[in-house]
Amino acid sequence: MGVVNYEKEENLGIITINRPQALNALSTEVLYELRTILQQIKEDSRVKVVIITGMGDKAFVAGADIAEMVAKTVDEGYRYSRLGQEIFSMIESLPQPVIAVVNGYALGGGCELAMACDLRIASEKARFGQPEINLGIIPGYGGTQRLPRLIGKTKAMELLLTADMIGAAEAERLGLVNTVVPADKLMDTAKAMANKIAAKGQIAIRATKAAVNKGLQADIDTACAYEAGLFGVCFASEDRKEGMAAFMEKRPAKFQDR
C-alpha cells in the first residue's frame, strides 16, 4: 500500500489518501500517486463513479503538506500550487462523477480537494476551513476560486480571511456539502448515492458532468451552446431510444451505456 490506495468495487473506483499519521496531508508524493490513479480511471470505462476519502477516522485531508512547504523557494511554491491545481482540474474534467467522502478534517488543500469533486458527503465529525492565512499564504489549489463559486462571495471571503473552521452542519447550510450523516453511515450513504448514479445511462451522466463543469467556466451563451451540443450527442445514443421507449411503455429503462 502506498500513500494513496485505489480499489475497485464493481462499478465504483475508491481512492483513499493514506497518510493518517500526517492527517492525510497532500505531499508531492501523494499528488503524483493521485495523478497516476486518475489517469488510470479516466481510461477505465468499467468505473462509473469515483469516491475519494481519507484513511482513518480523524481527517479527510488536513491540507497541503506544511512540513514539505517550509523549505520551498518562490519558484517551488508556485510549481507546488500549479501541480495541485492541475490534478484537481483532472478530477473536474474526469468523465466519471466524483464523490468526496469527508470523514474528518477537510482543511486547506483538503477542502480544496473536496470542492474539486462533483458531490460531497460529510460525516457529522467533518470540519471544513481554509486556514492558509494563518501560515502567511493563500489557498493554492483553487480554493480562492472554487469556494466563492460554490457558496457565494460573502461567506467565502469570511472563511478565507478569518481562517475559521466550520462544522458539517454549517457546511451543509452553506451548500458546501450535499448531505451530512453519522460517521458509521458515511461510506454506505456514499456508495448508495454512487450506485444510484452508476445505474443510469453513463452517456447522459458524463454529458451532465461536462455540461455543468465546463459550462460554469464560460459565459451563459457559450455554455448553453455547449449544453445543446451535448444534448444533441445524447440523441445519437441507444440509451436515449431506450430511455424514451421505456417511458412510453411504462417500464424501467435498461441502459447499455451506448
Catalytic residue among 33, 112, 170, 249: 112
Q: Is 132 designated active site? A: yes
Cβ 110 to ligand CAA, closest distance in Å? 7
Q: Nearest 5°: phi and psi at 250? A: 55, 50
Given the residues 7, 29, 43, 132, the one annotated as active site? 132
The CA distance from 94 to 227, in Å, is: 17
Amino acid letter for position 141? Y
Grid cell at residue 170: 454549517
The answer to whether residue 54 forms part of the interface with ligand CAA (CB under 6 A) is: no
User: Cβ 30 to ligand CAA, closest distance in Å?
Assistant: 11
Q: Which of 11, 66, 183, 242 binds ligand CAA (CB under 6 A)?
A: 66
By CB under 6 A, name the one of 3, 14, 17, 22 that touches ligand CAA: 22
**Contact call for residue 131 and ligand CAA (CB under 6 A):** yes
For ligand CAA, the binding residues in 67-126 under the rule CB under 6 A are 67, 84, 105, 107-109, 112
Q: Tell me how many helices (H) and strands (E) the chain has.
A: 11, 10
Which residue's CB is nearer to ligand CAA, number 22 or number 37?
A: 22
Tell me which of 12, 38, 54, 65 binds ligand CAA, using CB under 6 A: 65
Q: Interior CA angle at 115 toward 45 and 129, to 5°?
A: 150
Q: 184 by DSSP, 3-state: which?
A: helix
Q: For strand 166-167 and strand 105-107, is the pairing parallel, antiparallel, or unpaired?
A: unpaired
Rounded Cα distance between 258 and 249, Å, is 20
For residue 17, what is its C-alpha cell? 489518501
Active-site residues, by number, are 112, 132
Note the residues at the interface with ligand CAA (CB under 6 A): 22-23, 25, 62-67, 84, 105, 107-109, 112, 131-132, 135, 139-141, 143
